[in-house]
Chains A and B, each alone.
Chain A
């Protein structure tokens, strides 16, 4: 979705303290980071966390950056913390996988300046390849986990997290979910307090993690867990609400707490804001006051298992779903069943049958040229990656065969090349990757392809932005997070430096279908790695300038439907007609027009139109100021 911006008219003048603002969870975290006197904030864009750093970039007094990936963003935050500065990094759930190498050792060094990691789980998977539960990292890395339940709490807990981090010298994990990040609620904001770094202190035993040093520090992790359990027990973030109906009590954190309160307003609830380490005495007190205990957690059966291990009987995933978002309408019947009550059928809220409307590539999206072309080439296996171009797996192109994780296209393509047997011998292997994903995690994979002499043709889709998350700058876009000029990396030179022979690096325009087709066909015929850089700006960024739109001359359209195969959302069928060909075969013709409000004149559909029915809209009929040619 489009970037959600805070309501700041002047970036140098954030709304004053005590303002009551309508903020998303992401915007609330950003405000709190700024108020906490943070000096460095870093992230790689990723739904649903993107807007945290996007908002922070509008605040003064700190360095905000788009890092090339989540691991680097965490390392940047750690380095800042080493100087005593307060530091922050944000990422989506899968981003923390990338950053985990840093996390698992950073937890041993600990934080010096307050160090907070916001991680946003995509519960319900609106825009991710998996639904993993980031609460596990608290256990794995022995760091505290805070879980806000709305925007106000996101703001307050972020501020609390920096103090907690400094007091116990620990990184703090702020676990968000889509229903925190992308829910707007009212937040009362406060003053910024500056935080001058105390200074870097040379201390190899602490900062140089060789075995001898790490061994001396690891016991402190276990001690920290114990200390923080006590802090959690006393924390006002963990509230035991005694309720009046003691038949069922609940344990809940994050958005699940709101669902519990809505479905069971009179029940006892232990609300966990400081959710790891969780408070055992409060848990026992809750268990003692109710007949049955239900642990309400979105996705994994984590707390429930730990509570049972502590000898407290409870229910949870035996009655609740193990994936997707919870809601009051899910909780109510589940608990009724647990109590042996008859569950009344839900009110007549049956969805009507309506066609699916999957996300589509935009009109004039340069990726359409790529996937239209790939859909015309036989005998290929195409590995894909994460970004708008993952949509190439959908209709009408069906032109992607794999998608796993950021940068995986390279390794997967090489593995297919090296692993294939006689049955796949005649196929050619193509790896598709976007420019931002390439710099995030694709470069190493390409190096692996060249080093290991893979027969892979790489399509590097350079649209000059991180498109999927709303058009953030990259090291190849020549702009920084504020839109100011920044050094621009030359992707062709990077590719050459990674070992691709100069004559095997081609730069093409994805709007020029014949050249694109010929280049791909030529390159896949030759053994050895090659890279085709397809260069055109994303249509949603400022670099894109629309061309003169097209229309269909109705009397010329033969209904062949070739243009529809391009997949452009601006092309519409006006009528269908069944005809019998001389061969006796019945075919359905589809006559089309073009929505010239949506068309921006890329010309992709013009090229497969045999009868030349697609022509420019006459100049007099269009607002000239938007047109380039």
Chain B
């Protein structure tokens, strides 16, 4: 079996942002499509505020759970500097979908380190394909900041080797117990995430996760 048949998705952000839950829903969608799936985290210590990356690999049969540098088809970044930190995990034709959030840690506020100027700009300058958007503003416009994670999932929905509807169905299933209003809000957030990316990319960019 060749590496090409495995989809590698890296979700990154900081503790408390919902990185692990988002990846769990992506994993559920891959399972619904009949894939073998492995998902693993590097979360460091239990505290909030540290670096979190969640590795998702799926295909006919997944062996090693860890994604290696240079092999990611889609990087879903919940924070700008974190997307930059992990951008070397992308394949040359990989795509980074990045929430513009800027979460500045105490070590930067103390003046010990600098927060990078324009992280997504640096990624582009390094030749990465990047789409950035403000998931939290989109969520706020929809009336609920907690919809941000569904906006993020909407953003990646058209860059998976299966239909966006599969992912949406998994989100709906998660929120079904909370009632139709919550489900409907999540549907809107999902659509808004898709639109935020489509608006910038149109149909111009090939889907790096599409299997030949």
Please indicate the chain A residues that have their CB under 8 angstroms from the CB of B204 in the complex.
Answer: none
Contact A360 B50 (CB under 8 A): yes
Please indicate the chain B residues that have their CB under 8 angstroms from the CB of A327 in the complex.
Answer: 64, 66, 68
B114-122, B160-168, B181-189, B194-202 - interface stretch: B114-122
Please indicate the chain A residues that have their CB under 8 angstroms from the CB of B205 in the complex.
Answer: none
Contact B65 A359 (CB under 8 A): no
Please indicate the chain B residues that have their CB under 8 angstroms from the CB of A329 in the complex.
Answer: 68-69
B44 within 8 A of A: yes
B60 within 8 A of A: no
Distance of A395 Cα from B111 Cα, bound (Å):
11
What distance in Å separates the Cβ of B27 from its nearest Cβ neighbour in chain A?
A: 6
Please indicate the chain A residues that have their CB under 8 angstroms from the CB of B74 in the complex.
Answer: none
Contact B89 A179 (CB under 8 A): no
Distance of A47 Cα from B108 Cα, bound (Å):
28
Distance of A73 Cα from B89 Cα, bound (Å):
41
Those of B20-72 within 8 Å (CB) of chain A:
20, 24, 27-28, 31, 36-52, 62-66, 68-70
Distance of A22 Cα from B27 Cα, bound (Å):
9
Contact A354 B85 (CB under 8 A): yes
Contact A349 B70 (CB under 8 A): yes
Contact A358 B50 (CB under 8 A): yes
Contact with B along A43-75 (1 / 0, CB 8 A): 000010000000000000000000000000000
Distance of A576 Cα from B36 Cα, bound (Å):
51
B169 within 8 A of A: no
Q: Contacts A395-B110, A568-B106 given: A179-B66 contact, CB under 8 Å?
A: yes
Q: Is the interface of A mostly helix, strand, loop or mixed?
A: loop
A residues contacting the other copy or chain, number (CB 8 A): 62
Contact with B along A259-273 (1 / 0, CB 8 A): 101100100000000
Contact of B44 among A126, A328, A572 (CB under 8 A): A126
Please indicate the chain A residues that have their CB under 8 angstroms from the CB of B123 in the complex.
Answer: 352
What distance in Å separates the Cβ of B102 from its nearest Cβ neighbour in chain A?
A: 10
A318 within 8 A of B: no
B84 within 8 A of A: yes
B residues contacting the other copy or chain, number (CB 8 A): 59
Contact A569 B40 (CB under 8 A): no
Contact A362 B47 (CB under 8 A): yes
Those of A513-558 within 8 Å (CB) of chain B:
540
Contact A1 B104 (CB under 8 A): no
What distance in Å separates the Cβ of B121 from its nearest Cβ neighbour in chain A?
A: 12
Contact B84 A395 (CB under 8 A): no
A289 within 8 A of B: no
What distance in Å separates the Cβ of B25 from its nearest Cβ neighbour in chain A?
A: 11
Contact of B109 among A1, A22, A346, A571 (CB under 8 A): A571
Contact A354 B81 (CB under 8 A): yes
Please indicate the chain A residues that have their CB under 8 angstroms from the CB of B28 in the complex.
Answer: 22
A350 within 8 A of B: yes
A388 within 8 A of B: yes
Contact A396 B43 (CB under 8 A): no
Contact with A along B1-22 (1 / 0, CB 8 A): 1000000000000110000100
Distance of A572 Cα from B101 Cα, bound (Å):
14
Contact B47 A185 (CB under 8 A): no
Contact B41 A395 (CB under 8 A): no
B129 within 8 A of A: no
B203 within 8 A of A: no
B126 within 8 A of A: yes
Contact A258 B63 (CB under 8 A): yes
Q: Contacts A355-B81, A358-B107, A469-B46 given: A183-B87 contact, CB under 8 Å?
A: no
Q: Contacts A126-B44, A352-B88, A396-B106 given: A22-B37 contact, CB under 8 Å?
A: yes
A311 within 8 A of B: no
Contact A186 B31 (CB under 8 A): yes
Distance of A4 Cα from B31 Cα, bound (Å):
19
Contact with A along B119-135 (1 / 0, CB 8 A): 10011001000000000
Q: Which 4 A-B pairs have the closest CB atoms?
A: A349-B69, A355-B113, A359-B50, A359-B47
22 contacting pairs across A/B (C-beta < 8 A): A22-B27, A126-B43, A127-B45, A185-B37, A186-B31, A262-B63, A327-B66, A329-B68, A347-B69, A352-B88, A352-B123, A352-B126, A355-B107, A355-B113, A357-B107, A360-B49, A388-B45, A395-B110, A470-B46, A564-B106, A569-B49, A597-B145
Residues in chain B within 8 A of chain A (CB atoms): 1, 14-15, 20, 24, 27-28, 31, 36-52, 62-66, 68-70, 81-82, 84-85, 87-89, 92, 104-116, 119, 122-123, 126, 145
Residues in chain A within 8 A of chain B (CB atoms): 1-2, 4, 22, 47, 126-127, 150, 179, 182-186, 255, 258-259, 261-262, 265, 325, 327-329, 346-362, 388, 391, 395-396, 467-470, 540, 564, 567-569, 571-573, 576, 588, 590, 592, 597
**9 extra interface residue pairs, beta carbon distance < 8 Å, beyond A185-B62, A349-B70, A352-B85:** A22-B39, A127-B46, A185-B36, A351-B69, A359-B15, A359-B48, A470-B46, A569-B106, A588-B111
